[in-house]
Amino acid sequence: MKENNSGDKSYSQQSGRESSVATAKAARPVLTTEQTDGNQEQRQDCSITGELSRGCQSWIISSLVADDELFPDGTEVLNRIIALLCKTSGINFAEYKQLTIKRRIMRRMSLLKLDKLDNYVVYLQQNGAELTALQQDLLINVTKFFREPQAFETLKKTIFPLIVSTVAPNVPIRLWVPGCSTGEEAYSLAIALLEFLADNNVDRRIQIFATDINKTVIDKARVGIYPKTIMTDVSPARLSRFFVEVEQGYQVSKTIRDICVFARQDIGQDPPISRVDLVSCRNVMIYFGAALHKRIFPIFHYALNPEGYLILGASESIGVFADLFNLVDKKYRIYTKKSVVTPLVFDFSAAEHAATLHQNRSKDEVDGLSVGSWLDVQKEADRIVLSKYAPAGVVINSQLDIIQFRGRTGVYLEPASGMPSVNLLKMARDGLFAGLRAAVNQAKKENILVKKEGLHVLQNGQSLPVNVDIVPIKGPFSQGEYFLVLFRDGVSQSPLLDSTSNSAIAAPEVVQQARAVDEVLRLQQEVAATKEYLQSIIDQHEADNEDLRYANEEVQSSNEELQSMNEEMETAKVELQSTNEELMTLNEELGIRNMELNHVNNDMINLLRSISLPVLILSNDLRIRRFNSAAEPVFNLISTDVGRPISNIKPNIAVPDLEQASFQVIDTLNSAEQEVQDRWGHWYSMQIRPYRTTDNKIDGVIITFADIDVIKQSIRVAQEAREYAEAIVETVRHPMVVLDTDLRLKTANKAFCQTFRMTPGEVSGQSIFQIKNSKWNLLELRTLLTALLEQDKAFEDFAVSGDFADNGKLTMLINARRIVKLHDNTKLILMAFEVIVS
């Protein structure tokens, strides 16, 4: 759209262009900024069902019907709710999109199951928590990391190089993110800018100011902790470089958090961040009304440095502020600041009105009159002056329609035939049209007082002279919007006719001559007025042609925008379909995971039921989480004991240090085992192991009890049998020894020690072939013992003779048998010596 820089164009031309712009805008499809604002969540719902157009249209129709039912008067009840919100939060929601506010109110009422708006207002007045919930609903916080990734790539390729080349090296690069929500947008810009600087080996300081009106989301943004679902938006390389994994998910690294400064700010009321190189305000303006738009875009223009940049959302545009910004990238809505004066507009009308009222009240009090009485006096005085001394006239607007008649105007105006009309030119009497039109056009064009004298009105066959004054009316409305048209009776300009009319006796020839002269003057004036009228027609024709040319350009531009919007909608439709397919796939995966989880749960339950060993699972604070049926009699448990501390349970088994042992296992991660006994003397082997989750975290302990009562009884019986056998061996008078697999003495009875004059310490662990000066180191005996170990060939009465220094010469018979330990299958040899000759 081209700018209009010509100062001499008439207001009608400007009005025509504005009208054409409005017509072009009205011709655009419904899916514009308002729909993006009002139906954002509903579009998402429609994407899930896969029927975008039909679903959204039906929702819009139902919303409109519900809106008519809930808001019959339109503003009264809504204003009460907005006043309550403003009183609580200090936020003026009256400047937000009314459709969004109404829809959110309807949503809250649906959640509370309230069908009448008055009931909801009463509920708001009685429940501060609902006011807070409604406020949070109205402050829509929809954002994510690297939303529209191609937009960030465009910034890195096009905008960041220009900013770096423009900003001085010793000055930090400053960015402002108004409406930052939970901080993803600000952190994304910081990451993208740091990546750009690193790729180009540039070392520059960065300052990013992120603001939002919602303090709750600002607090979350400062912490910078986000769930693990951000992995779908942030690449693994960026996760490892700019994020730290924490228990709740991922936290933005301290380097990035130090760059970004978060603060609460109402961009419509609070002072802006100044001297910034880039303002990123994406998908924020769609929630604001026209009044906020008129304030915020000049604020952005003021905040930006020369040649600074503004980036908006895909469904946003600068609108009527094309004189402040130049378009850089149409697809991603990137603009640059124009070098023009920022049109900051301040509204002092309320203050001036209050001051004037106070001044008038003070004056009235001095004069002894009340304000109402003084106004009545003024009105009456005005009425007298207007009725007796003021000329007749009318008040017209810029379309030349009469909006007020003042005085008697019947001499100059009359209703035209045909359809009723109050247009000034249609009601003008014969002779006034051309001059009146020219005077009005000149007043509209130059916005000054225009006087037109020498006009004539034909009435009853006579020509009456008329003077017309066109006075522009100034006020709080637009310049050139209203005019006051005054009609004054003129004076005949023919002195000859006046002298003859005053003569008592005038010749007919003289009178006729005077009338002819007067008629010539009148005709000359009409010709001059006709020339002016024709000139105004020509000017108007040229202006109309110019307007048509501008309108054609605007229509072409609008057509291009519509085509681009149609392409974007098609792309969005494809993306929504793709998202819908992904959601369906994810839903199927979740169903499969759910089924697998059910199978695992069933397997675990059946496993616990089938295990005859008592199993008890405790949480980190030693509360009962789960147990099987075998553990019920051991610990004296019932099903309602789940969740109770183990210290509150009095078990049937004696474990005095169970809590201490469990905490020690949790702290050291080492399993503990202990033999315990129940009150009936039954033995168990208690094992305490740490409970590990799938992500290798300790979340309690698992306690199992193995029944070892039979083993204990077996050990006791074996111990008794051993003691019995040892007692027999010790009471036998013949020497006896037990050899191990290496033919070393494990034990020797008392008779052996006495016979061969040795102590138990001397023989233990010694080889049978080395004791007593190797008297038994015989090859045949070695062969027999080896065969006995390997092949279990027992031998008897093997005779050995020798001279034993302590005992003299002895002859003895050796008997040997192989014995096997049952518990470890160890092979031993039992040897018995019988002395037959001494």
User: In this structure, what token pair is assigned to residue 364?
Assistant: 């009235």
Calpha distance 160→358 (Å, rounded): 55
Q: Same domain for 681 and 789?
A: no
Calpha distance 122→117 (Å, rounded): 9
Average pLDDT over the chain, rounded to an integer: 78
Residue 580 has what pLDDT?
87
Q: pLDDT digits over 439-456, tens only?
A: 888 888 888 898 888 788
Q: How confident is residue 656, by pLDDT bands cut at 50, 70 and 90?
A: confident
Q: Is 411 helix (H, G, I), strand (E, B) or coil?
A: coil
Calpha distance 339→318 (Å, rounded): 16
Q: What is the mean pLDDT of residues 235-248?
A: 92
Strands 827-837, 243-246: pairing kind: unpaired
Strands, E assignment, 325-449? 325-329, 334-337, 392-397, 402-406
CATH number, domain containing residue 326: 3.40.50.150
| Residue 403 counted as domain residue | yes
Contact 219, 180 (CB under 8 A): no
Burial of residue 725, with CB atoms counted within 10 A of its CB: 0-12 exposed, 13-18 middle, 19 or more buried: exposed
Q: How far is CA 643 from the centre of its chain?
A: 37
Q: Same domain for 775 and 728?
A: yes
| Residue 793 counted as domain residue | yes
As a whole-number percent, the residues of the chain with pLDDT over 90 amount to: 17
Strands 206-212, 260-264: pairing kind: parallel
CATH number, domain containing residue 451: 3.30.450.20
Name the phi and psi angles at 266, rounded to 5: -100, 105
pLDDT > 60? residue 49: no
Q: Which helix (H) or strand (E) holds 378?
A: helix 371-388
Any idea which residue has 């979350």 for tokens? Answer: 220
For the ranges 30-34, 140-144, 692-696, 775-779, the lowest mean pLDDT is seen at 30-34
| Residue 375 counted as domain residue | no
Q: Same domain for 271 and 169?
A: yes
For the ranges 164-173, 189-198, 672-681, the lowest mean pLDDT is seen at 672-681
User: In this structure, what token pair is assigned to residue 445?
Assistant: 């064009």
Q: Same domain for 416 and 327?
A: no
Considering its fold, how many domains does the chain have in total?
5
| Residue 44 counted as domain residue | yes
Strands 698-707, 260-264: pairing kind: unpaired
Name the phi and psi angles at 157, rounded to 5: -85, -30
Residue from 318, 273, 274 nearest 297 by CA: 318
Strands, E assignment, 193-283? 206-212, 225-226, 243-246, 249-252, 260-264, 276-281
Top mean pLDDT of 59-73, 224-238, 319-333 is at 224-238
Boundary residue ending a domain (446, 474, 491): 491
Calpha distance 301→230 (Å, rounded): 33
The Cα angle at residue 662 between residues 657 and 663, in degrees rounded to 5? 105
pLDDT > 70? residue 674: yes
Calpha distance 186→259 (Å, rounded): 10
Contact 452, 434 (CB under 8 A): no
Residue 188 has what pLDDT?
94
Number of separate helices (H) and strands (E) present in the chain: 28, 25
Calpha distance 743→760 (Å, rounded): 16
Sequence-distant (≥ 6) Cβ neighbours of residue 654 within 8 angstroms: 676, 677, 678, 679
Q: Same domain for 131 and 199?
A: no
Q: Same domain for 293 and 165?
A: yes
pLDDT > 60? residue 23: no
End-to-end CA distance of the chain: 138
Q: pLDDT digits over 600-629, tens only?
A: 888 878 877 777 788 888 888 888 888 888
23 vs 456 pLDDT, higher one: 456
> In terms of pTM, does the model score above 0.75?
no
479 vs 276 pLDDT, higher one: 276
Residue 366 has what pLDDT?
37
* Count of CB atoms situated within 10 Å of the CB of 257: 18
Calpha distance 687→816 (Å, rounded): 44
Residue from 547, 557, 569, 545 nearest 24 by CA: 557
Q: Same domain for 99 and 155?
A: no
Contact 498, 521 (CB under 8 A): no
Q: pLDDT digits over 304-352, tens only?
A: 998 899 999 888 888 778 888 999 988 889 999 988 888 755 443 333 3
Any idea which residue has 């003077």 for tokens? Answer: 467
Name the phi and psi angles at 346, rounded to 5: -115, 135
User: In this structure, what token pair is assigned to residue 821?
Assistant: 């330990």
Q: Same domain for 273 and 157?
A: yes
Residue 3 has what pLDDT?
37
| Residue 238 counted as domain residue | yes
Contact 337, 306 (CB under 8 A): yes
Residue from 450, 529, 435, 434 nearest 483 by CA: 450
Q: pLDDT digits over 550-601, tens only?
A: 788 778 877 877 887 887 788 788 878 878 888 888 888 888 888 888 888 8
Sequence-distant (≥ 6) Cβ neighbours of residue 190 within 8 angstroms: 206, 208, 256, 259, 260
Q: What is the mean pLDDT of residues 641-657?
A: 81
Q: Is 507 helix (H, G, I), strand (E, B) or coil?
A: coil
| Residue 515 counted as domain residue | no
Beta bridge partners of 484: 395, 471
Q: How confident is residue 353, by pLDDT bands cut at 50, 70 and 90?
A: very low
Q: How confident is residue 259, by pLDDT bands cut at 50, 70 and 90?
A: very high
User: In this structure, what token pair is assigned to residue 92?
Assistant: 């003026």
User: In this structure, what token pair is assigned to residue 469?
Assistant: 């004054």
Contact 485, 396 (CB under 8 A): yes
* Count of CB atoms situated within 10 Å of the CB of 103: 21
Q: Same domain for 742 and 806?
A: yes
Q: Could you list the residue range(s) of the whole structural domain that residue 746 is in?
A: 724-837
Residue 308 has what pLDDT?
93
Residue 276 has what pLDDT?
94
pLDDT > 70? residue 838: no
Residue 209 has what pLDDT?
94
Calpha distance 7→26 (Å, rounded): 28
| Residue 460 counted as domain residue | yes
Boundary residue ending a domain (470, 491, 512): 491
Q: Same domain for 124 and 155?
A: no
Q: Same domain for 126 and 153?
A: no
Name the phi and psi angles at 167, rounded to 5: -75, 135
Residue 358 has what pLDDT?
41
Residue from 150, 146, 147 nearest 158 by CA: 150
| Residue 229 counted as domain residue | yes
Q: Same domain for 57 and 181?
A: no
Q: How far is CA 544 from the centre of its chain?
A: 49
Calpha distance 747→763 (Å, rounded): 8
For the ranges 103-107, 161-165, 179-183, 230-234, the lowest mean pLDDT is seen at 103-107
Calpha distance 461→283 (Å, rounded): 70
Boundary residue ending a domain (76, 103, 138): 138
